[in-house]
Structure 1
Amino acid sequence: MSASEDAAEETVEANGALVPEVGDEEQDQDRLPGAYKLWLVGILVSLVGNEVFYFALGWAASEYGGSIAALALSAITLPRVLLLLVGGAVSDRVSARRVLITGDAVMLIFSVALATVAYSLGAPPLLLVATGVAVGVVDAFYLPASGSMPRRLVAEAQLPRALSLRQVGGQVINMGGGPLAGVLVGLAGFAGAAFVNAVTFAFTLVVLTAVRPRHDVSPAPKRDGLLKEASSGVKVAFSHPVLRPGLWLTGAAAGFLLPVLTLLVPLLVREEDWGAGIAGLVLGAQGVGMVAVTLLVVKRGPLGRPGLMAAGALILAGAGVLALGLSPTATVAVAAGVVIGIGNGTFSAHIAPLVLASSPDSHLSRIQAVLVLVQSLALLLMNNVLGALVDLQGATVVVVACAVMLVGAGLTGLASDPLRNDRTGLDRR
């Protein structure tokens, strides 16, 4: 039985009072629980610390050249990818909240120790690489647990609004995190960034100890070995009639949409000789379009059937990418950025709650691990493939090819009856 069905069948509140009238009940359903808002504050504060710390790590590593900088950042990605499935299995076994508390406590201790060492020794390459490995290992356990928490804190019908609110907060922090990180690192260096990160982990740790999941599920039974349980997440994800096409769409977005923003926009702008300012405007316009959609979902809830909206959104994003690749002027390119942002925001606001709400209770964190793994592998692969293709064919051709792939992925999603007709998260009364 889903969390929303549980809520619908309750006749008495926890304090013994009768359930309100229908109008009041609808109002309560629109209001996100205080526990979720508190958890979200903790997560966003932690994200600020991460933005500062990752900038500081890359900046410190860049002093030693491109190879060391790439090695330090790869030291985060590699253990994260290798251990994600195991991390999801552990979270389903012992509860996501315990994993998060343990992860924050470990990173608090590690960050304080790192700040102390860096203050005394500076930031030698070996320390930077070791730091990347430690962060990647903790992330492998932390990310699946964190991804499953909204399902444990809010009712199923509230997931689109809850996840959109988190996305808006993340977008705001991403936009302001870079300048803030630059100032802090300039003032206090790598050691100061590690200390700021420790403070944010301490705050998040306090928040997590105060938060109690309202819709938590029992830990998965320990029937098999940890590795077999980890592989079970992959099997369940890709055998589920809704999760399977949803994950493929997510992989398509990670492989053909995200690289457009991070890799291809700068290359296209250079090819067109428009200047760095135009690249910033295109990315800013994409951010505006994305935030506008997610704010709309925060206010109104899902805009339609989630699978249908997600697939259609990829087609819209593909149209925006095509317009970007064929833009005759910088003004058209900026307008195309808005269309891409609307498509990207609509996709993210509907696919994330669809995957989370469709996940079996026994596999919440493991499905989140598979989701992160699909995104990471697709992005890692396609960044390198698309970069090489730009050197061979030019940025315009590659951007247009990405647009075609996005439209094709969206049409494929629309052809899936289970995905297109799924009404997860919509009002069923």
Structure 2
Amino acid sequence: MQTPPAPPRRLAWAGRNYRIQTAATVVSGLGNAGAPIATAFAVLAIGGSTTEIGYVTAARLMSLVLLLLVGGALADRLPRHRVMVASNVFNGLSQAVLAVLVLTGTARLWELVLLSAAGGAGQAFYGPAAEAMIMQTVSQEHASRAFSVYRMALNGAQIGGAALGGALTAAAGPGWVLAVDALSFLLAAGLRVLLTVEAPARPARSDGMVRELREGWREFASRRWLWVIVLQFSVMMACVSAVDAVYGPIVAEQRLGGARDWGIALAADGVGLVLAGLLMVRWRPRRILLVGNYGVFLFALPAAALAVAAPLPVLVAAMFLSGAGVTVFGVNWMIALQQEIPPDTMSRVSAYDAFGSLALAPLGTALAGPAAHALGLGGALWTCAGLTVLLGVLVLAEPQVRRLGRHATGPAATAGAVPAPAG
């Protein structure tokens, strides 16, 4: 008698590295989601104001931006999982020091700024390696499903992490939330040690990191759809960072229920992220960047809700829709990068993407306080919402953004697929 073949696993496309990286991302995401809430309220607890919150957030973003390109080049040189492990350990230790200072009531503003900058430095080395890692763990055929599931897992962790962070900050103080964040980084590092990835193949003769950064720049600059959207996000992320890190906590403190309500709003954002991920598992739009940019318009809703001092249920709805928009854009963006960028330059291109997208974010958070003083809190929020919508309209003027299509895969490629424009 012949033994019947074993039925195929439902997640046969999700290999070992994909599962480990997704699990580690969930673990660190649980801690990270509550850390911004805790940091903002730690600044308020030592007598800080909107301006001081902006300075602390800007320090993290500034170090992140300044070191991203180095992190991208390093991740294309070394085994990416080792870069991620080292970054996670560094972030875990820096957050542990910050937690001790806050818990003992000895934290000073300059210490918060310095440790926030340390956190951004760790993220600068982690981010490019992580993005390239998750893309190399799945085939293009399964990319839409894999990226959607990955983002759902991450965003599901953010739901629980934001809600827990807000509740724990309100009940026990921000120091304990920062301690949980430190532990989550160290646990994630332990998981990522289990990843099995070889170092990228390097040519026998190398002219060093500067030459490799130039190669990455050529890949980045040769694709108009890529740098146009990065320019859009450069301005837009300055606005979003100001709203999420500065204006949101201030409005919650002044007009809502403080950290608890802001945690609920952030959790609603996470619910939108997850439910949109369920949609993206099955939805395979042909014009990936056109559809992705439609999601960007929803990013303006939280700023508008905060500007009109909307009650908590309305703010929750706005955050939910914004989160859905993030997933719609994010999944399509990951697909575009995977199918258009050579794997051996993926970390460097991802670094240029993140560098450009976040370049103005430190300025946005640092100027959030002065802008609120000059325009009023409502005026600053309306400015953020208006710029987000305007940029979403302007980027659609670029034909490559409107026309870039999903590549057909396998022998069943359809004649009706929209061709991708030449780089």
TM-score scaled by structure 2?
Answer: 0.73
Equivalent in the alignment of 2:156: 172
Change (3 A) 1:257 1:427: farther
Shift in Å, 1:311: 3.5
2:46 alignment counterpart: 64
SS of the equivalent of 1:416 reads helix
TM-fit CA distance, 1:357: 3.6
Residue 354 in 1 paired to residue 339 in 2? no
Instruction: Decide which moves more: 342-351 or 87-96.
Output: 342-351
Q: Which region of structure 1 is more displaced relative to structure 2, 31-40 or 252-261? A: 252-261
Amino acid in structure 2 at the alignment position of 1:402: L
Q: Which residue of 2 aligns with 1:225?
A: 208
Alignment of structure 1 residues 16-415 onto 2, 5 Å: 31-66=13-48, 68-110=52-94, 122-184=106-168, 192-193=176-177, 195-213=179-197, 217-219=200-202, 223-251=206-234, 254=237, 288-298=271-281, 300=282, 302-314=284-296, 317=298, 340-381=322-363, 384=367, 390-391=375-376, 394=379, 398=383, 401-402=386-387, 404-413=389-398, 415=399
CA contact (8 A) 2:339 2:407 kept: yes
Q: Write the letter of the residue equivalent to 2:387.
A: C
Q: Identity over aligned residues, as a percent?
A: 24
* Contact in 1 for aligned 2:34/2:177 (Cα 8 Å): yes
For structure 1, which segment, 70-79 or 396-405, has the greater mean C-alpha deviation from structure 2 after superposition? 396-405
**C-alpha deviation, 1:424, in angstroms:** 4.0
SS at match of 1:412: coil
1:362 maps to a residue whose letter is D
Contact kept in structure 1, 2:159 and 2:271, CA below 8 Å: no
Query: 1:380 deviation in Å?
Result: 4.1
Residue in structure 1 matched with residue 417 of structure 2 by the alignment: none
Q: Decide whether the 8 Å contact of 1:151 with 1:357 is kept in 2.
A: no
Structure 1 residues 353, 44: CA separation in 2 closer, same or farther (over 3 Å shift)?
same
CA distance in 1, matches of 2:304, 2:101: 50
| Aligned AA (1:423) | R
- Listed one character per residue, the Cα deviations across residues 242-285 of structure 1 (whole Å, up to 9, x for unaligned) are 53344345446535677677778899999xx9999999998777
Give the TM-score of the pair, scaled to structure 1: 0.72
Change (3 A) 1:410 1:388: farther
Question: What is aligned with 1:11?
Answer: none
Structure 2 counterpart of 1:158, which letter?
A: H
The more displaced of 148-157 and 46-55 is 46-55
Distance 1:210 1:374, change over 3 A: same
* Counterparts in 2 of 1:258 and 1:313: CA distance versus 1, 3 Å: farther
- Would the aligned equivalents of 1:92 and 1:220 in 2 still touch at CA under 8 Å? no
Letter in 1 for 2:386: A
CA offset at residue 151 of structure 1? 1.3
Amino acid at match of 2:396: L
Contact 1:152 1:213 in 2 (8 A): no
Residue pair 2:57, 2:362 contacting (<8 A) in 1 also: no
Q: Hey, what's the Cα distance between the residues in 1 that align with 2:138 and 2:217? A: 25
1:302 is paired with a residue whose SS is coil
**Is this contact kept in 2: 1:158–1:301, CA < 8 A?**
no
Unaligned runs of 5+ in 2: 413-423
Tell me which amino acid in the other structure corresponds to 1:305. R
d(CA) in 2 for partners of 1:71, 1:111: 18
Measure, in 2, the Cα distance between the counterparts of 1:289 and 1:51.
Answer: 15
Q: Which AA in structure 1 matches 2:223?
A: H
Select between 219-228 and 113-122 the one with higher mean Cα deviation: 113-122
Query: Is residue 95–residue 219 contact of structure 1 (8 Å, CA) maintained in 2?
Result: no
Deviates more, 1:60-69 or 1:139-148: 60-69
Secondary structure at 1:223 match in 2: coil
| Equivalent residue letter for 1:401 | G
Partners of 2:315 and 2:90 in 1: CA distance: 45
Give CA deviations for 1:278-301 in whole Å, capped at 9, x if unaligned: 999987776555433221113x15
Q: Aligned partners of 1:253, 1:221: CA distance in 2, in Å?
A: 42
What are the Cα deviations for residues 82-124 of structure 1, in whole angstroms up to 9, with x where unaligned? 1111111111111311211222233445555666677778434
Answer yes or no: is the 8 Å Cα contact 1:161–1:301 preserved in 2: no
More helix by share: 1
* Partner SS, residue 134 of structure 2: helix
Question: What is the one-letter code of the residue matched to 1:140?
Answer: A
Does 2:406 align with 1:423? Answer: yes
Give the Å deviation of 1:141: 0.9
Contact 1:42–1:204 (CA under 8 A) maintained in structure 2: yes
What secondary structure sits across from 1:224 in the alignment? Answer: coil
Does structure 1 retain, via aligned residues, the 8 Å contact 2:53–2:246? no
